[in-house]
Amino acid sequence: MPRNFGPWIVLLALLGALLLLVLFLDHEFPTALRDEDGSLGLVLKVLILVLVGASLVPFILRQPVLALRHAAIWAGVFVLIIFVYSFRGDATALWNRFVAELVPARGVAEGEGIVRIRASADGHVHVRALVNGQPITLIVDTGATAVSLSRSDARRAGFDPDRLDYSQRVRTANGVTRAAPVRIGEIRIGDIVVTDVRGSVAMNDRAFSLLGMSYLDRIGGWSYQDGTLTLRR
């Protein structure tokens, strides 16, 4: 075969690949490509590819092997991008699981309305929640009748601890203390949201914030098994 036929064979191969791509798109998306808007969009894309290809003709004619190699590389990059994009949902789920292993309190959302939180090394389940839109970590306490906020967490959630009425007597592991009753506008864990939650603010600033039954009783359900708390909307 004469040497000067080589570049033209490469160019014909690229045009053939373009034709196969068009036929593939027409087979996979027949409705989209056969209506007026789809056809016009396809024609426009083909014209763009033709213009780009035409700009590369001089390079192809001078160095056909190198041009073919570059085309193969870009085709591989395109396929890789499509492959990664198609698995974006799985990648996000894997990333969330990885982060949950490092920070158990963040939990893992599994489907709509299901959140699983693994117990931490201290044996307690720590939950990262949005309390009135602010990220606050609470310890799950099924023995607590209401959500309890420490003074610092209450301040982050929009309450002024210095203006509250600490009229409640609360029995804790460290004895009896006082707390101020409050109504929490919203508590969100994953996509599980409860509004107007009965709560309290502890007078002692050393107290931990607790996720009590005033939240758990108002969601769809919850269970604790094998060191994992499952919340359902």
63 and 138 together in one domain: no
Q: Does the structure show a pLDDT above 70 at 105?
A: no
Of the two residues 45 and 219, the one the predictor is more confident about is 219
106 and 181 together in one domain: yes
Which of 58-62, 87-91, 195-199 is predicted most confidently? 195-199
The confidence score (pLDDT) of residue 80 equals: 73
Q: Does the structure show a pLDDT above 60 at 4?
A: no
3-state secondary structure labels for all residues of 29-90: CHHHHHCHHHHHHHHHHHHHHHHHHHHHHHHHHHCHHHHHHHHHHHHHHHHHHHHHHHCHHH
Of the two residues 24 and 89, the one the predictor is more confident about is 24
Q: Residue 171 — pLDDT band, cuts 50, 70, 90?
A: confident
CB of 128 closer than 8 Å to CB of 107:
yes
Q: Does the structure show a pLDDT above 90 at 62?
A: no
130 and 195 together in one domain: yes
What is the rounded average pLDDT of the residues 184-211? 90
What is the rounded average pLDDT of the residues 124-142? 92
105 and 74 together in one domain: no
The confidence score (pLDDT) of residue 123 equals: 84
35 and 134 together in one domain: no
CB of 115 closer than 8 Å to CB of 189:
yes
29 and 115 together in one domain: no
Q: What is the pLDDT of residues 109-122, one digit of tens each?
A: 776 788 888 888 78
Q: What is the pLDDT of residues 15-43, one digit of tens each?
A: 666 666 666 666 655 555 555 455 555 56
User: Which one of 39, 56, 86 terminates a domain?
Assistant: 86
CB of 183 closer than 8 Å to CB of 196:
yes
The confidence score (pLDDT) of residue 55 equals: 54
The confidence score (pLDDT) of residue 120 equals: 83
The confidence score (pLDDT) of residue 1 equals: 45
26 and 74 together in one domain: yes
141 and 225 together in one domain: yes
76 and 145 together in one domain: no
Number of domains in the chain: 2
The confidence score (pLDDT) of residue 131 equals: 95
Which amino acid does the sequence have at 214?
S
Please tell me whether the overall predicted TM-score, pTM, comes out greater than 0.95 for this model.
no
Residue 216, classed as helix, strand or coil, is helix
